Structure 1
Amino acid sequence: MPHDEAPAARGHQDWLGEADALIPRLPTRHRVAGADVDGSGSAFPVVSPRDGRVVALVADGGEKEVDLAVAAARRAFDSGPWPRMSPVERGRVLLRIADLVEEHRAELALTVTLENGKPITESHGVELRALAGTFRWYGQLADKLTDESPHTGPGALALVTREPSGVVGAVVPWNFPLTLAAWKVAPALAAGCTVVLKPSELTPLSALSLGRIADEAGLPPGVLNVVAGGGPTAGRALGTHPDVDVIAFTGSTAVGRHFLRYAADSNLKRVWLELGGKSPNIVLPDAPDLATAAATAAWGIFFNQGEMCTAPSRLLVHASVADEVTDAVVARAGTLRVGDPLDPATEMGALAGAARVATVQEHVRRGADAGARLRAGGSPRHVVPGGAYFDPTVLDRVTPGMALAREEIFGPVLSVLTFETLDEAVALANDTEYGLAAGLWTSDLSAAHTVARRLRAGTVWVNCYEEGDLTVPFGGYKQSGHGRDKSAHALEKYTELKTTWIQL
């Protein structure tokens, strides 16, 4: 369970005071070619889900701003120094970005919490740790990649080289605005590409801050540009732009389809998608410790308010231990501290906004109407006036055909299903259009291996959940997308293979 604490010296009142001091200084303009750029249209409000107040008015980007940013990225790629630097030099810049992120860690964490609603301890200890760690990892990797020279016989020399793809459009969501930006931007930069980053219109402030930090670290102008704006405007403009060579997108499956269409209607740019999930978490009766399995199931669905594509939202429990495991999860839901995200004691903060609360509540209502039993939660929680909070929620007696078991809710809602046989568990787990992740709890080594191979998911955690590091790839099967973030495999998205054949 990845979780670091924010500095002990800061308490609730400290963070409240720092928030009031930070808000007037939040960045509100696009970052293009190393400079702040005004929008050509009206500004849009960034509403903090913590209390519903507008914390910033941000320049709204559309075709004009995207054209400007893409042109800057194209110049930087075609004639600038970045793709022509040695990998060692590029790596040093990425390491400087990581160092500056650490220097500005508290301010960046506070920005994320204000725009996103997650607890400050998680912004500081999880989100910012991932941001700095990702840039550091790819900075260290940059000069350790090798090309190939296949054996062709004495009459020829063949070289297979990886070359940067060009201009990358990175479009990232609001639930982990900096982590997911780093997973795309860092490997793209390490490969020698230039980037236009479009954050969610709900969380543009942290990405705009990252753009300024990257320029301060020594990125040449135009290598990383950040354009704020909506999906139908800035997102579409980026997806259809003929000078963008690659799109890397994380978000909903529905929007992922749009980007595939944009590519088809423009220059057939490569599109890499990390999309939704409805991840199963299977508990067999021989789990090493049922209490740990239940505690992890609760942590997994309530962490980040359940706003995670990998959230283990379907708990599949063997009938013989279903009551024991479900009761333990319900008990934990009842003790979880839902509170002000700026309070370091808070365990679950605000959802992304009032609309998200309404959507989650509607899912719960429909599930109960369909016959599921509400065991915990199910209602909005009134924590900070004007804020968007929801109770940790558990429903059992869920059947495979219910929307609760099939649709991605993206909130703190757990659906409990039971099974009798291992084959039934695998069939239930795979009975979804998604295939992002899965969990399995068992002491049987053979079952761990065989079930993991049968699960159609990009990541399978055994006797744990959400564990891993940057050495392993992340991505999904089926309608959870394709391509991989993290690890050296991420560079495959941002490079082209070139064969050079030399006749001797």
Structure 2
Amino acid sequence: MAIPIPSRQLFINGNWTEPLLKKHIPIINPSTEEIIGDIPAATAEDVDVAVEAARRALTRNKGKDWATASGAVRAKYLRAIAAKRKPELAKLETVDCGKPLKESEADMDDVISCFEYYAELAEGLDAKQKAPISLPLKAFKSHVIKEPIGVVGLIVPWNHPLLMAIWKVAPTLAAGCAAILKPSETCLELGEVCREVDLPVGVLSILPGLGPEAGAPLASHPPC
């Protein structure tokens, strides 16, 4: 299948950013074993930059941040992302993985369904905030407050790249957390989709790279 592979950098803070150490990894089409492009390779230095951007996304604008946005607002973004680029993403997935196009198209349908599912759950969170808990003693009151846990690191495999990424990205964003995704190659296009729907900067960063150089620093990064 002849399809151009977009030239991308790391997706950090809403922008395409060259890796600080300028490392890249070739993309190989499994069906032809040809090198059809390359992707940026993040390192610990890039992980630190992305983590800081995610922290800012959760605390900026005096409360008008991703963590305190309503579930309805977050759902709007999830649905907007789901509506973008199905045919193009399916073709990229096929070239990257070597799977049949029909299977990739089915994966994209599942991606859309996943975003829709978590958009509904995000909307449902609005009705559950500060839910009272019944106690036997009337002198006491207790409430459950559902709050985002902060910055979340996500590492996903290659065999269903975008779908497996969305299994993690969608619930993370729906809950009001910021995410740093270390994915397989074609997931970088998710960054361009986020730009198209004006997802608040820093909410999602995408850092492909090798396990020891990008995955390990992300997994071992101090909690935010």
- Amino acid of the structure 1 residue aligned with 2:82: A
**Residues 79 and 243 from structure 1, CA distance in 2 versus in 1: closer, same or farther, beyond 3 angstroms?**
farther
Match of 1:234 in 2: 214
Q: Does residue 31 of structure 2 align to residue 47 of structure 1?
A: no
- Amino acid of the structure 2 residue aligned with 1:151: S
2:7·2:38 contact (CA, 8 Å) conserved in 1?
Answer: no
State the 1:174 CA deviation: 0.3
Q: List structure 1 runs of 4+ shifted beyond 3 angstroms.
A: none
Matched residues, number: 216
1:169·1:239 contact (CA, 8 Å) conserved in 2?
Answer: yes
1:169·1:197 contact (CA, 8 Å) conserved in 2?
Answer: yes
SS in 1 for 2:208: coil
Report the TM-score, using the length of structure 1 for normalisation: 0.42
Question: For each residue in 1:350-370, what CA deviation from the matched residue of structure 2 results, as whole angstroms up to 9, or x when unmatched?
Answer: xxxxxxxxxxxxxxxxxxxxx
Distance 1:211 1:130 in 2: 19
Q: Does residue 130 of structure 2 align to residue 150 of structure 1?
A: no
Q: Does residue 62 of structure 2 align to residue 82 of structure 1?
A: no
- Amino acid of the structure 2 residue aligned with 1:155: A
**Residues 32 and 223 from structure 1, CA distance in 2 versus in 1: closer, same or farther, beyond 3 angstroms?**
same
Match of 2:164 in 1: 180
Q: CA-atom RMSD, angstroms?
A: 1.4
**Residues 127 and 215 from structure 1, CA distance in 2 versus in 1: closer, same or farther, beyond 3 angstroms?**
same
Match of 1:61 in 2: 42
Distance 2:192 2:204 in 1: 9
Q: Does residue 17 of structure 2 align to residue 34 of structure 1?
A: no
Unaligned runs of 5+ in 2: none
2:111·2:163 contact (CA, 8 Å) conserved in 1?
Answer: yes
Distance 2:12 2:68 in 1: 21
- Amino acid of the structure 1 residue aligned with 2:115: F
Please list, as runs of the form range in 1=range in 2, the aligned pairs for 1:289-308 lying within 5 A after superposition: none
1:27·1:208 contact (CA, 8 Å) conserved in 2?
Answer: no
Match of 1:271 in 2: none
- Amino acid of the structure 2 residue aligned with 1:90: R
SS in 2 for 1:162: coil
Question: For each residue in 1:458-477, what CA deviation from the matched residue of structure 2 results, as whole angstroms up to 9, or x when unmatched?
Answer: xxxxxxxxxxxxxxxxxxxx
Please list, as runs of the form range in 1=range in 2, the aligned pairs for 1:454-465 lying within 5 A after superposition: none
State the 1:141 CA deviation: 1.9
SS in 2 for 1:142: helix
Report the TM-score, using the length of structure 2 for normalisation: 0.92
Match of 1:189 among 173, 189, 196: 173
Distance 2:144 2:69 in 1: 20
**Residues 151 and 177 from structure 1, CA distance in 2 versus in 1: closer, same or farther, beyond 3 angstroms?**
same
Q: Does residue 112 of structure 2 align to residue 132 of structure 1?
A: yes
Question: For each residue in 1:261-314, what CA deviation from the matched residue of structure 2 results, as whole angstroms up to 9, or x when unmatched?
Answer: xxxxxxxxxxxxxxxxxxxxxxxxxxxxxxxxxxxxxxxxxxxxxxxxxxxxxx
Distance 1:97 1:27 in 2: 20
Match of 2:146 among 162, 166, 169: 162
1:28·1:56 contact (CA, 8 Å) conserved in 2?
Answer: no
Q: Does residue 192 of structure 2 align to residue 209 of structure 1?
A: no
Which structure carries more helix by proportion? Answer: 2
Which gives a bigger RCO, structure 1 or 2 (Cα 8 Å, sep 6+)? 2
